[in-house]
Amino acid sequence: MHARMLAAGPETELVSVWARRPEAAAEVAGPYGASVAASFAELLDVCEAVAFAVPPAVQAGLAVRAARAGRALLLEKPLGEDLASARALADAVDEAGAVSQLVLSKRYHPGTREFLSRARRLKVAGARSCYIHGAFLGGEMATAWRLEHGALLDLGPHLLDLLDLAVGPIAEVRGTGDSRRWIELTCEHENGAVSQASLSGAIRLARARTRIELYGEEEELVYDAAELDPEEGWPVLRREFAEAVRGRRSADPDARRGLRLQELLEQVRGSTA
C-alpha cells in the first residue's frame, strides 16, 4: 500500500526501497522503477522522507535513526512494541525537529472527517464501537507480530483515536478478554461519557466491520466504514504528508499523537496482565 500510494504522485516520488530481505525490497520496488537500497543507511542517503512498513519493534529503532539523520517520517501505528520504545521515538523526533505523520488510514478519509466534524457538535453520553475482521486467520495480514500481539496493537489505535476525538479525551481505559481472539475495551472520558470498543482479527466475516455509534440525549450519530471507499483516503494522506515535509511542520496525527495512543494501549495491557 505504501509503495503504491507514494509512487502514484504527483506530490511524491518513490525513489528507493530497503527491506531486511533484498528479494522483498526488489518485489516492492520493481513495479515502480524504484531502486533497491543495499542498506538502511543507503536508503537515508537518497531520500527526503522515509515511509515505514515494518513491525512496531523494528520501526521504533529504525525511525530514531532516520529522525536523527534529518529525514521526515511516515510512521505506522503503533509507534513501537511497548511504551518505552514509543516514547524514545517520539522524543527523538522532537529533538531532531523532524517532520512526522502517522498512518491512521481512516483519519484521512473525507467521510471520517465529516463524522468527526458532526461529533464535535454533539454532546455524547455514551458510545459503542467495533473493529472486527478475520485477516489474522491467514493471508498476508497474518504476520508474526499481529499473531503475537493480536488486535489490540493493530486495530486498537484506530478506534481509540476516533473515540478520543469523537467522544472527548479518554481519561482511562481498561480491557478484558484475549487480544488474539476478542478483546473488549471500556473507556472513561474526561467529560464523563463512557465508550466501549470491541476488537478482533480472528472472526471470519465477508468484510471488515468498523462502526462507531455515538449516543446523545437527543440524537445518535453513526459512523460505518462499510459505506466508505478506502481508496479515497490515500491521496489525502499523500498530499498532506508532502505538504508537511515541504512546509517542515508536522500535521496531526503525528508522532506525539502516536505516543498518546501508545499510552492508552499500555493502560489496557496493564489492566489485562
Per-residue pLDDT of the chain (273 residues; tens, 9 = 90+): 999 999 999 999 999 999 999 999 999 999 999 999 999 999 999 999 999 999 999 999 999 999 999 999 999 999 999 999 999 999 999 999 999 999 999 999 999 999 999 999 999 999 999 999 999 999 989 999 999 999 999 999 999 999 999 999 999 999 999 999 999 999 999 999 999 999 999 999 999 999 999 999 889 999 999 999 999 999 999 999 999 999 999 999 999 999 999 999 999 999 987
Residues 88 and 190 in one domain: no
Residues 201 and 127 in one domain: yes
The count of structural domains within the chain is 2
User: CATH number for the domain including 146?
Assistant: 3.30.360.10
Residues 200 and 242 in one domain: no
In this prediction the pTM is: 0.96
Residues 96 and 127 in one domain: no
Residues 173 and 115 in one domain: yes
Which residue type does 247 have? G
Domain that holds residue 126: 110-227
Residues 121 and 45 in one domain: no
Residues 30 and 10 in one domain: yes
Residues 6 and 98 in one domain: yes
